[in-house]
Amino acid sequence: MKVNHAEIVISAVSKKQYPEDHLPEIALAGRSNVGKSSFINRLINRKNLARTSSKPGKTQTLNFYRINESFYFVDVPGYGYAKVSKKEREKWGRMMEEYFQTRDTLKAVVLVTDLRHDPTQDDIQMYDFIKYYDLPVIIIGTKLDKITKNKRKKHINRSKQVLDIDETDIFIPFSAEIGEGKDEAWSALSQYLRG
């Protein structure tokens, strides 16, 4: 997809702030610091529209990015960061549930996992959560650039196996750093953005 236009519309913490123009939405999900915001930036060719950081916990709100005036990427705060208080974790849970439960315009979820490591318990829970809401999921195994070429296949198979993904689900090895997997990600997403 050729992206001509990308803008942040709102950083929302609750439902009443969500955009109301009824465009289709693709939400991100994944651990803190895994590369969700970097995924968005790479897909839309913008260095830092979605703010990234080497420290976990950068994204704290539901950030709605309108792309080509035709759909939204919704960047979300990550999970699994040990230093987060119980109260904050609960707040995260409520915010995510409210969004996933009620959002009619949500068409698919991009679950980003770190291809270097086995998916965590939190990743497995998130995958199950998405399935529970009956949402299509695209799994992005990111930071591919950090794995030597001869080990890539093994890591990809491990990730699929640990997550126990459905055979019909799409898994894409990806790197925000070098752009690998970008075209595959767009073609997987495009089927959810039509009409």
Residues at the site binding ligand GTP, with contacts judged by CB under 6 A: 30, 32-38, 52-54, 56-59, 77-78, 142-143, 145-146, 175-177
Residue 121 site contact among ligand GTP, Mg ion, none (CB < 5 to 8 Å, cut-off depends on kind): none
Question: Please, what is the minimum distance in Å from the beta carbon of residue 78 to ligand GTP?
Answer: 3
Cβ-count burial 145-178 (b if 16+ within 10 Å, e if not):
eebeeeeeeebbeebbebbebeeebbbbbbbbee
Bridge partner list, 110: 28, 138
* Complex with Mg ion: residue 24 or 57, whichever CB lies closer: 57
Residue 63 found at the interface with Mg ion (CB under 5 A):
no
- C-beta closer to Mg ion: residue 11 or 70: 11
> Is residue 59 a contact point for Mg ion (CB under 5 A)?
yes
Per-residue burial over 28-59, b if 16 or more Cβ lie within 10 Å, else e, is bbbbbbbbbbbbbbbbbeeeebbebeeebebb
> Considering CB distances under 5 to 8 angstroms, the limit depending on partner class, which of Mg ion, ligand GTP, none binds residue 24?
none
| Residue ranges of E strands in 24-176 | 25-30, 62-67, 71-75, 106-114, 137-142, 170-173
- Of 9, 19, 58, 122, the one binding Mg ion (CB under 5 A) is 58
Q: Which CB, 58 or 131, lies closer to Mg ion?
A: 58
Q: What is the DSSP string of 6-25?
A: EEEEEEESSGGGS--S---E
Query: What is the nearest approach in angstroms of Mg ion to the Cβ of residue 55?
Result: 11
Q: State the binding partner of 38 from Mg ion, ligand GTP, none, CB within 5 to 8 A by kind.
A: ligand GTP
Which residues here bind Mg ion, judged by CB under 5 A? Answer: 36-37, 58-59
